[in-house]
Amino acid sequence: MADKTPGFDTLAIHAGGAPDPATGARVTPIYQTTAYVFNDVQHAADLFALRAFGNIYTRIMNPTQAVLESKVAALEGGTAALAVASGHAAQLLAFHTIMQPGDEFVAARQLYGGSINQFNHSFKSFGWHVVWADGEDPASFEKSISPKTKAIFVESICNPGGRITDIAAIAKIAQNAGVPLIVDNTLATPYLCTPFAHGANIVIHSLTKFMGGHGNSMGGVVVDGGNFDWSKSGKYPLLSEPNDSYHGMKLHETFGNIAFAIACRVLGLRDLGPAIAPLNAFLILTGMETLSLRMQRHCDNALKVAEWLAKHPKVSWVNYAGLPSDKHHALQKKYAPRGAGAVFTFGLKGGYDAGIKLVSSVKMLSHLANLGDTRSLIIHPASTTHSQLSKDQLVKAGAGPDVVRLSIGIEDVADIIGDLDQAMA
């Protein structure tokens, strides 16, 4: 038994954490400090030169943060992780590590509206250019690859539509092109889907959502799969070439299968600075201990709500991969057999105006721009999260004028359905 790999629930509670050596505290403490005393001058020099691991400054790492990183890496099956201030910060640091001005990356257009905006607009300031592909057509990624392509980016379960991505098919295309596949696993969490098992190289999360799960803390994480050769092609100089800020050290040569996570920390986080607050790391750690219990309840409730909506006379369609009639049901069984997640969309026959009316009429459900909370949440993407997109982009992103997005919580499902029923009426 000693050699047996612990189960998911055991890892969610114990991975990365141990009683505090100074006090014996069983729960990971909040290390609310900006800096750390060095043992001596040589110790300080070794830390700054990356000859030794340890704490220097909380902008770069913190003991509470370190436990969170170890836990996420263990649950995802990665080699190392870096926790940061938000999911957007995680995306920024991941791309900062592999992109140079003039480079391109291919992304599925079925993404969270904030990611579409970040890729279309903010990344242009760095000279990084996105090429859009159809997440439902893996061949479209292959057609979009050029000599300038440095990565492919998808979501495992897409926001807002709840579509399931064929990760293995796209991973094969990325592998043939010699570029890493980055998967945003926020909506699935490692309880439902582990992208590394299907060929992904980097996993991103907004920890703000299901991983923390209680709507009380912001965080993001980059997880290194340790399964990409950063030196092979010469396309990733920050990892493969001598680094001037570390006396010519070659990060991939030095750190091997944790090199990507190290580079995100000691180059990206060091200089761009989107550090996670120790309190937020603590709150997310607390939430993660019940991840499997919450996610299963989320999925069970979401399926019942989707079944009810599918029969409602005011609903024209329901996009939920957990329904046997859904076109993504087979992919859901392959990639997320425990459930299709808690976030999905449906269409109202009354279109845009009906969507506005519905979100204005719920009483228990909260109308807000978040997901992954214990509470059930509702939003009309076309007027909020995706409002910066054109009409054509809205439809392609699965956020057309008739679309309502639900993030189903863990309340009694009869009460969730009851609130939607009265709001529909």
pLDDT at 14: 95
Angle at 312 (CA atoms; ends 306, 316), nearest 5 degrees: 85
214 secondary structure, DSSP code: S
As averages over each run of 10 residues, the pLDDT of the chain (425 residues) reads: 80 93 93 97 96 96 98 98 98 98 96 92 97 96 98 95 94 98 98 98 98 97 98 97 95 98 98 98 98 98 98 96 96 97 94 91 94 95 77 77 94 98 95
Q: Side-chain half-sphere of 133: how many Cα atoms within 13 Å?
A: 26
Tokens 């995802």 locate to: 76
128 close to 103: Cβ distance less than 8 angstroms: yes
Quote the pTM value.
0.95
Q: Tell me, what amino acid is at 332?
A: Q
Q: 62 by DSSP, 3-state: which?
A: coil
Output b/e per residue, 378-417; b: 16+ Cβ within 10 A. Answer: bbbbbeebbeebeeebbebbbbbbbbbbbbbbbbebeebb
What per-residue confidence (pLDDT) applies to 174? 98
Asked whether the beta carbons of 356 and 84 are under 8 A apart, the reply is: no
CA dist 44 and 66 (Å) reads 19
